[in-house]
Amino acid sequence: MSTSKELTFFVVDLSGPMVSRHSGEETDLDIGLKYYYDHVANVLLKNRKIDRMGVILVHGTGNGSEDELEVLFDDEQFTYETFKRYSEKMRAANNNYESKQNEEGNSNIIDATLHGLDQFKVKIHLKYLRNLVVITNGEDPLYLEGEESLAEKISDYTDFINTYDIKVTVVGVGFDKKIKITEQKQENVKFWNQLMTKWNGRVLDAEALNRNVQYSSALKKVAPRALYTGSMTFGLGSEALSGEKNSNINEVGGLTLDVQMFPATRPEKLASGHTYDLSEKSSSSVKRITKHYYKKYKEQDDQTEIKDEESGDDADYEKVEVSVGDYVPGFKYSKHDIIAVNQDLAEIAQLYSLAGISIIGFIKQVDFPYAYFTDESSYVIPSKSASPSKMILFNSVVKSLLDLKSIALARVVTGDGKEVQLCSLTPQLVQIEGKYSYSFVAIRIALKEDQKIGRFPYLTEKTNSNTQIEDNDLDDLDEGKSANQDDSRKREYPSEDVIELMDSFVKSKDLDKNDKGTSHKHILANQKVALRETEFVNFGTTIKEMNTDAKLLPSNPANQKYNTNLKKIVIKSLEKESLWDFLNEDKFVEKYLVTSNKNKASMEEKSTNLFNLNNIVSGNTVNTKDWLSEINKDSLLTSENLKDSLKIKYLLKKDTSKRRQQAGTAFERFFRADGESAEEKKPSGGFGTFFDINDLLGD
């Protein structure tokens, strides 16, 4: 079982060089702390009672005496108030350069780091994900108290770190700098790198990390929960599923695999938050209360019939409140046949089948249309307790289907008595640490009642003229639309020249360009699929080069935008007395969220709240900077030509109010008084604002 409880300590270097303002704007501490703030904002927003966080401040430089280290840790939930308190101290140090600039000596950051590790010892018997983050710029000479004993000490800690899987990270300000770097710093960077190699930790450059944090989000592992655990069979009849007695399941005439099914896709939503009432000078949460009632009509006209919600709603009635338990779900078989579905009936009306995955046949992958995939996909893998032979059978089935370029179709019931589904099982290779494992991906497919497609115009002249071959395939011409004068122009088939231009447009926007990788149709390789545990502390990916598949799998830029701004608000609020007043400030967006571009001349630094080709695929990816806009450059000329030869202009709608007046039939228009609009005449006219009414009514 993996745990998600988190215990994190930050070791923050507050020595003279960290707080000196050499560049004028930001101190090294400011830069180094950005990552800390981001992490804390995350912790606050996550608001989990089980997480713990502490800070070890390393004041100035000195002789390693204990009071140089200040441990801030409360063994309770880290709150906004705690955050403010800790930050206060750091800010004080940051503004305290005067008193520190004359200090000289060695840095006791190593000692502080070890001290930080000691902090874990108190709760070492509990299950935690343990992180230690050291923030320093490595300018001061390291205080290495008796070098030999230190080396010994470090190796003691090495065992400790390995045993308890503590992740140590050094966030180094200016560690990537190539010029103007002191010899001392070079030596320190080297030291940290060596130490982290020993400790299996990482050294990251603060600025690179900050950029990464802005564009990337934590890779979250939601504990996988099996949707189904049991057998997957081929060649066994249905009697084993009917739940009748004496059914013999152990037949030689069939194959039985032990499998488990896990969710593969579940769309992540925006942080949902809650609704609050801000009426007084405080915010309190809002509850929704639902009352149930039936309508008691004053005129007892027709007692037996259940009134339709559409009709008779204006009639005089009084609401009679009903308590829980006095009503049951109902089912409308048709408009006129309504039945109460109590628990008994619901159970009887359920087609009973035992759980199981049963293959009903195979189909070539190219013969099965994607259009019939209807739901979120799931992984199907050998079950945890599968015997070696079952493992081999599973792998062999997947392999043979991969070789045959086919998918299996299977009847799937995930629990006894649950709905019967049909799923496609697509063979896939999962990439784990450069090697492959066999698996299936299951996706629910459409059944008879699920098909909803209508008829649509032909897009090619050839098909259009061959309608007779296609039987009486009616397009919307017959359904009585768009046969007017404009139509001939609007349904003009493209000329050879235009198609040729379009061909070169399509070719010029090839995303697979420069991607030498082979077809990835059967491979699942991404940062999530084989993730062992959540990377709360997101260090960006270690992948150096990404193929097109991976580049097109960024984190969601909308979630990113929302979360980044939310964290920004939390962090900015630190400098303010009251969160309430801060959030109530006028022009909040302009003052605190819009990033000014005035001082940044170069394109790449320009920030914008709009999406564009460069920023939509940048989250958690590598080498996507300018990737899409570079590809786009090759298509500029063709785009221009296409636009001209197709005579495309963006046409604004005519005034809609005029159009509405025209609505209705000729008959209705005739009787409508001047100046009266269709809306007033027809109660249903309001739809027009929501949909394309012609589409719904016309065909």
Partner 1 sequence: MSYNPNEDSDDEEKNSYQQYEIKDGIIFLIEVTPDLLAPRKGLSNKSKLYEILTSINELMSDLIITQRNTGVGIYLYNCELSPTLKSMKSAPGFNRLFRLSFLNLTNMKHLNDLLSDDKAGVRPLDYYFKYSKPSESENLPVIFNKILDELINRKEFNRKKVIWLTTNDEPYTQKSTKEALWRIINDYYAHDFFIRPIFLSKDSSEFDMTRFRDIFLNTNYLNMNKNETTKDGQDPSFHKDSSIFRKTVVDDEIKKSIFRAREVRRIQFACDIILSDGGKVGGNLGCSVKGYTICSHERYKRDLLLYTKGETLKRVFTDSNLINADTNEVIVDKEKEKAVKDEDNVKEIESQNESTTCKGHLLAGGEIVFLKDEIVQFMTNYAFDHTPESTISEKVDEEEENEEIEDDEGMRTEDVTFTLPPYLKLLGFRSLDRFNASYNSQAPMFVTPDLSDGQQTSSTKGGYQSSFTTFSSLYQSCVKLKKYGVLFGCIRKNAKPSLWALYPTRVESSSRNIKGEYDFPEGFLLIKLAFLDDIRCLPNHFIDDKANRFTNDEDNLCADEEIVADLKDLFRDFYYESYNPDDFPNPSLNYFYKIIKHELLQIELSEEDKKLVNNDQTAKKLDYLKEYIHSDENRLNRIKKINYRLQDIDERAPKRALEDDKASKPPAKKAATAPELDEGAILVAWKNDEWHQFTVPQLRGFQKKYKDQIKSATKKQDLIDNIKAFLDSRER
Q: For the CB of residue 446, give the shortest distance to partner 1 in the complex, in Å.
A: 4
Nearer Cβ to partner 1, position 245 or 532? 532
Q: For the CB of residue 139, give the shortest distance to partner 1 in the complex, in Å.
A: 34
- What is the CB neighbour count within 10 angstroms for residue 199? 22
Vertex 137 angle, CA 145 and 105, to 5°: 40
Single residue of 43, 90, 109, 195 touching partner 1 by CB under 8 A: 43
Task: Note whether 237 binds partner 1 by CB under 8 A.
Answer: yes
CB 141 within 8 A of CB 107: yes
Q: Is 661 left (phi over 0), alpha (psi -120 to 50) or beta?
A: alpha
Stretch that binds partner 1, among 111-119, 166-174, 185-193, 475-483 (CB under 8 A): 475-483
Give, as ranges, the residues between 555 and 584 that touch partner 1 (CB under 8 A): 555-559, 561-562, 565-566, 569-570, 573, 579, 583
Single residue of 65, 248, 612, 657 touching partner 1 by CB under 8 A: 612
Single residue of 128, 228, 438, 536 touching partner 1 by CB under 8 A: 438
Rounded Cα–Cα distance for residues 378 and 262 (Å): 5
Give, as ranges, the residues between 403 and 432 that touch partner 1 (CB under 8 A): 403-404, 406, 409, 411, 419-420, 422, 426, 428, 430, 432
Task: Note whether 499 binds partner 1 by CB under 8 A.
Answer: yes
CB 2 within 8 A of CB 223: yes
Stretch that binds partner 1, among 54-62, 102-110, 127-135, 364-372 (CB under 8 A): 364-372
Rounded Cα–Cα distance for residues 250 and 11 (Å): 62
Task: Note whether 213 binds partner 1 by CB under 8 A.
Answer: no
DSSP letter, residue 440: E
CB 139 within 8 A of CB 184: yes
Task: Note whether 217 binds partner 1 by CB under 8 A.
Answer: yes
Nearer Cβ to partner 1, position 44 or 134? 44
Task: Note whether 88 binds partner 1 by CB under 8 A.
Answer: no
Task: Note whether 25 binds partner 1 by CB under 8 A.
Answer: no
Rounded Cα–Cα distance for residues 7 and 22 (Å): 34
CA atoms within 13 A of residue 116's CA, in its CB half-sphere: 32
Task: Note whether 63 binds partner 1 by CB under 8 A.
Answer: no
Nearer Cβ to partner 1, position 157 or 536? 536
CB 638 within 8 A of CB 561: no
Give, as ranges, the residues between 156 and 185 that touch partner 1 (CB under 8 A): none
Single residue of 92, 278, 315, 543 touching partner 1 by CB under 8 A: 278
| Displacement of CA 48 from its chain's centroid (Å) | 20
Task: Note whether 361 binds partner 1 by CB under 8 A.
Answer: yes
| Displacement of CA 44 from its chain's centroid (Å) | 20
Give, as ranges, the residues between 662 and 691 that touch partner 1 (CB under 8 A): 662, 665-667, 684, 687-691
Q: Which two tokens stand for residue 654?
A: 């005519």
Residues in CB range of 539: below 8 A, 6 or more apart: 169, 202, 204, 209, 212
Residues in CB range of 381: below 8 A, 6 or more apart: 259, 260, 262, 394, 437, 439, 440
Task: Note whether 437 binds partner 1 by CB under 8 A.
Answer: yes
Kindly determine how many residues on this chain lie close enough to bind partner 1 according to the rule CB under 8 A: 302
Q: For the CB of residue 129, give the shortest distance to partner 1 in the complex, in Å.
A: 14
CB 407 within 8 A of CB 368: yes
Task: Note whether 613 binds partner 1 by CB under 8 A.
Answer: yes
Q: For the CB of residue 519, give the shortest distance to partner 1 in the complex, in Å.
A: 5
Beta strand 337-340 pairing with 356-364 = unpaired
Task: Note whether 72 binds partner 1 by CB under 8 A.
Answer: no
